[in-house]
Amino acid sequence: MLKYGEACQRGRLPLCFYSGGNSLIDEIEVRRGKLDWANVLWVYGPLVAWLVIIYLASTDIFSSKHTASILEPILRWFDPGISRARIKSIHFAVRKAGHFCEYGILAVFAARAFRWTRGLGFYRHWALWAIALVAIYSLTDEYHQSFVSTRTPSIYDSMIDTAGGLTGLLLAWLWSRRKKPRKAEVRG
C-alpha cells in the first residue's frame, strides 16, 4: 500500500492532490491505485458548492427587488427617517460588495482545489487557474442573468467579480505567509 504522495509521484494515479508535503492530505492512503473519492470531495466539494450558490444567486431570488425588500426594513429600523435616495445608494453598494465578496471566496476555494491537484498541471500555476475560473465564471454568470427578466447583466459586475477574486487570492497569499508563533520551549 502506497502513501498518497508516493503514488502521485510515481504516476500511479490519473489525478492527484498534493499539498507540498506539509498537510494531512499526504497521509491519505491509496489502495490498489484507485482515486480516493472522499479526498476529491474534500478538495473540490467546497468549490463546486460555491459555484452552485453563485448560480442560484443569479436567479430571481436575489434580484434587486428581492434584496431591497430585505435591506430596506433593516435600514429603516436603524434610521426611521432615512431617505429613499440614501436607501438606493446603500442597496447598490451592498449588492456590489456582494459581487466582490462572493467571487473573492470563489477564488480562495478554486486556489485551494487547484493547488492540491496534480496530474492535470493545475498545481504549478494554481493562482492563474483560480483567477481564470473566476473571470470565466463571472462572465457566464452575467450571461446567465441576461435570461432572467428581473436581473440586469453588466460587464462592470464581471470586473468587480474579478477584482474580488484577485483580492481573495491576495488575502489568501498573505494569510499563508504569516509568521506562525513558535511553541514555547520547555525548560526542565
What are the pLDDT digits (tens) for 71-92? 999 999 999 999 999 999 999 9
pLDDT at 183: 60
Contact 152, 145 (CB under 8 A): yes
Residue 51: Cβ within 10 Å count? 16
Distance of alpha carbon 74 from the chain centroid: 28
Whether 87 and 35 have beta carbons less than 8 Å apart is answered as no
Output 79 or 6, whichever has higher pLDDT: 79
Among the listed residues 158, 148, 28, 41, the one whose alpha carbon sits nearest the alpha carbon of residue 96: 158
Host H or E run for residue 169:
helix 155-176
Between residues 121 and 128, the one the model is more confident about:
128
Q: Which cell numbers in the block locate residue 108?
A: 480562495
- Whether 110 and 51 have beta carbons less than 8 Å apart is answered as no
SS3 118: strand
pLDDT at residue 175, as a whole number? 84
Q: Is the dihedral of CA 125, 30, 172, 45 positive or negative?
A: positive
